[in-house]
Structure 1
Amino acid sequence: MMRRIVVACGVALALGGAVLPLRQAVAGVSLTSAQQGWVNKIEASLAATKTFQARFEQVTEQNGTSTGTVLLERPGKMRFSYDPPSPLLLVANEGKVVFQDHSIGQVTMIPLDHTPLGLLLRPDPRFSGDVSILGYEQQGNEIQLQVTRTENPGEGEMTLFFATHPLSLKGWTVLDAQGHRTVVHFSSVKTGVSIPASSFVLPKDED
């Protein structure tokens, strides 16, 4: 069950309470002034994105390819609805990420701050302080930011993909603490959309 949480949308950097080896805090890479300028623009763009809707494609080494719809309302709310026949649903709200697997009628909760969603959904998204940039790469109209939690890089790494014109989040890759990789790509992105509050009601155990 926990492994399925980790691969669901690639949102879990930690294993939800599993004991991970402690590692020394990282300092991150040094950026040029131009690169730091793009990072500042990315932070401002994320902060300005209040609502977001898109189709997603998720690829994992273990489970292959799946698709669905993602909804976001900042701060703190996100929903990944998988297309049938997948039994999975993931909702972030109230400081939690709740994962539902209809095939077994159960839900599991992990703290939002233990997931990459915690980085993206915070009121002031930033890539400094408690988040360190491990790598920066820009090719053509795409920027890749490789990040980790400064005080516990052993939890895993996340690489965010951004288009530069216009500046927008295109997806991410998560490498978890066990070395498993999950890739998520977004398409048909819409921002500034109206999203019903019911979309972010946290799932509960099925009777």
Structure 2
Amino acid sequence: MSLWQHIRRSALLLPLLLAACAGQGIQGASSERDIARVEAYFHTVDLKAAPFSQVWPDGAVGSGELAYHPGYLDMRFTAPHPMTLHAEGRHAVFTDSATGAETRIGLAHNPLGLLLDNPVHLGGAVTVTDIRHAPGVLQLSLARTDNPSQGLVTLRFRDSAARLALYEVRIVDERRRVTVITLGSG
């Protein structure tokens, strides 16, 4: 078998492996505490004019300010040029002022939709697929319980003095394209 065939075969199995991992979920008292802390964070978070940077799947970089609270996301890009992404509930609209293009996106099958429930609940329709700890960092990965191959969202929090602060959201879509949003100065 050639290297290309091996890579292609592995890529075809990736959705099945992701689905198997996502279906298992995370269990244990420590995990339950981490999940409860993240849910509590999302119940109280209210970001306004938070600076962010974003790396798209093709490596292009953008930046701007965002506003977020459960059920609502508004991203206003200033670089590479003015653009907006406004999401509420189950729909998002992306507007590119350079081209005048407007794209409507359904979030029911988009990984971003995992963060737009109000309230955000990390159970039932959402499965926590992985929890990791590093000094001062808590990381959770999330997928849709009924169809984990639709994508994965990984949240990275600074964890200091028992307080969480979200600083990175990594979104892997159904085609395995990765978008990374970093909050703060990047």
Question: What are the ranges of 5 or more consecutive residues in structure 1 without an aligned counterpart?
Answer: 1-20, 189-207
Closer, same or farther in 2 for the Cα pair 1:76/1:102, shift >3 Å?
Answer: same
Any idea what the Cα deviations from partners look like across 1:101-160, whole Å, max 9, x if unmatched?
A: 223212111223333443223222122111111111010111111111111112111111
Query: 2:100 pairs with 90, 102, 105, which one?
Result: 105
Match among 151, 155, 158 for residue 160 of structure 1: 155
Answer 1 or 2: higher relative contact order, Cα 8 Å, separation at least 6: 1
* Structure 2 CA distance for partners of 1:127 and 1:62, relative to 1, 3 Å: same
Question: Taking structure 1 as the reference length, what is the TM-score of the superposition?
Answer: 0.71
Q: Contact conserved, 1:71 with 1:78, CA < 8 A, in 2?
A: yes
Q: Which residue of 1 is the match for residue 55 of structure 2?
A: 59
* Structure (1 or 2) with the greater helix fraction: 2
Match of 2:124 among 125, 129, 152: 129
3-state SS of 1:27 partner: helix
* Aligned CA-pair RMSD: 2.4
For each residue in 1:45-76, what CA deviation from the matched residue of structure 2 results, as whole angstroms up to 9, or x when unmatched? 1111244441111123413322111112x342
Which one of 99, 109, 114 corresponds to residue 109 of structure 2?
Answer: 114
Give runs of aligned pairs for residues 174-193 of structure 1, distance below 5 A.
174-187=171-184
Structure 1 equivalent of residue 67 of structure 2: 71
- Between structure 1 and structure 2, the one with the greater Rg is 2
Number of aligned positions between the proteins: 167
SS of corresponding position for 1:143:
strand
Alignment partner of 1:43 is 2:27: no
Q: Whole-Å Cα distance in 2 between the matches of residues 31 and 67 of structure 1? A: 37
Q: Is contact 1:56–1:185 with CA below 8 Å preserved after alignment?
A: yes
TM-score relative to the length of structure 2: 0.78
Q: The residue matched to 2:152 in structure 1 has which SS?
A: strand
